[in-house]
Amino acid sequence: MTLPPDSSSSISCVCGTSLPAELRSCPSCNRLVHATRLKQHVTDAERSESEGDLRGALSDLRSAQVLLPSDSRQYAELQRRIAHLSDRVDAGEDAARSTRPQNVGTPPESAAASKRPRWVVAGSAIGAAGLLAWKFKFVVVFLFTKAKLLLLGLSKSTTLFTMLLSFSLYWTIWGWAFALGLVLSIYVHEMGHVSALRRFGIAATAPMFIPGFGALVRLDQYPQTAREDARVGLAGPIWGLGASVACLAVYGVTENALFAAVGTVGAWINLFNLLPLWQLDGGRGFRAMSQPQRWLAVAAIALAWALTQEGLLLLLLLAAGFRAFTKGPEPGDRRALLQYGGLVVVLALLSAVPVPH
């Protein structure tokens, strides 16, 4: 879950006037209160963008934007630039840069291999194996970056401390093993949000656990577009799904019922987060969908219910049906619909996996 920013403090202008924190220009001298910092952020953003560091540029532009009065021309200009960069990140331009192999030979083409002499065919086979190894390296690099982020999150004291509090509460109810699994799967879900927030350069706090409730990440800046909001919101359940699949895979190999329990309960919790209400992740996904897409999401929930008869889906159906009567943005975001629909169906199926007692 993610919560919107909260600001409440006071600042003072260079002319000496004390101002409430939300004021960006001084009413007595008309100066931009944070002109120096503003200029620095914009310069940094331009440098990052020219170096191809899109998330760095986004992060700086967002930091610059919050220093401007929201009705100013500059604010609108920054908003336009942020939306543009954000679209480029969404199109995968940042990933293309960070995972582009350096000095790795392009695997040989295997087209028309049948007409070539045998040794060429053998060479192509080796090339294909090389391609496979290269793709595998891709997966390893991918997992390693995620693992690094997961470990990094644990170095934050608020996260670790509140996580231990939650863990001890759940321990008294369900025993330490299940409690540990539960807390870790909630943690993976939250880090999904953190990963997406970092990708879009949106400042946020480290995940904080609330014993008995779950966990949340408080945003320091608002996502700029409904699409960003949907990516950030749905990233939690996507990572949560990954944790659930991993648990059920371990169960498949070891037949240890504990992993089945953590995997299915984890899937159920992530499904709950897809309720399209309040600040829940599903609400963020829904915001980016057009009205027809919302009806398709309702259909996906109905399908999931037909497959599993999971009671929670009736609640989702009710909330989604209600939201489907409201207008959405035009055109809606197709990826938000695909992610939402896919998550609902797969999570419902996983939560229905029978757990041995």
**Which residues form the interface with Zn ion (CB under 5 A)?**
1, 236, 273, 281
φ and ψ of 20, to 5 deg:
-65, 150
CA 212 to chain centre: 23
> Can you read off the two tokens belonging to residue 213?
């409730």
Q: Which of 302, 89, 337, 55 is nearest to 198 (CA)?
A: 55
Provide, rounded to whole angstroms, the least separation between the CB of residue 3 and Zn ion: 10
Closest CB to Zn ion among residues 61, 208: 208
Give the nearer residue to Zn ion in terms of CB position, either 64 or 247: 247
Closer to Zn ion at the Cβ: 1 or 297?
A: 1
In terms of CB distance, is 1 or 275 closer to Zn ion?
1
Closest residue by beta carbon to Zn ion: 236
Tokens of 268: 């159920």
Q: Which is nearer to Zn ion, 179 or 191 (CB)?
A: 191
Give least dist CB 299 to Zn ion, A: 23
**Shortest distance (Å) from residue 169 CB to Zn ion:** 19
CB of 234 to Zn ion, least distance (A): 9
Are 167 and 211 in contact, with CB atoms under 8 Å apart? Answer: no
Task: Kindly report the backbone phi and psi dihedral angles of residue 195, in degrees, each rounded to the nearest multiple of 5, phi listed first.
Answer: -60, -45
Give the tokens for residue 243. Answer: 């944790």
Tell the smallest beta-carbon distance from residue 209 to Zn ion (Å). Answer: 13
Radius of gyration for the alpha carbons in the chain, expressed in angstroms and rounded: 24
The contacts of residue 108 (CB under 8 Å, 6+ apart) are 123, 124, 127
- Distance between CA 314 and CA 320 in Å, rounded? 10
Choose among 327, 326, 299: nearest CA to 313: 299
Shortest CB 268 distance to Zn ion, Å: 14
Using the minimum distance from each CB to Zn ion, give the nearer residue, 32 or 191: 191
Strand ranges across the sheet with 214-218? 2-3, 214-218, 208-210
- The residue (of 53 and 281) whose beta carbon lies closer to Zn ion is 281
For 1-148, where are the E strands, in sequence order?
2-3, 10-12, 18-20
State the nearest-atom distance from the C-beta of 215 to Zn ion, in Å. 8
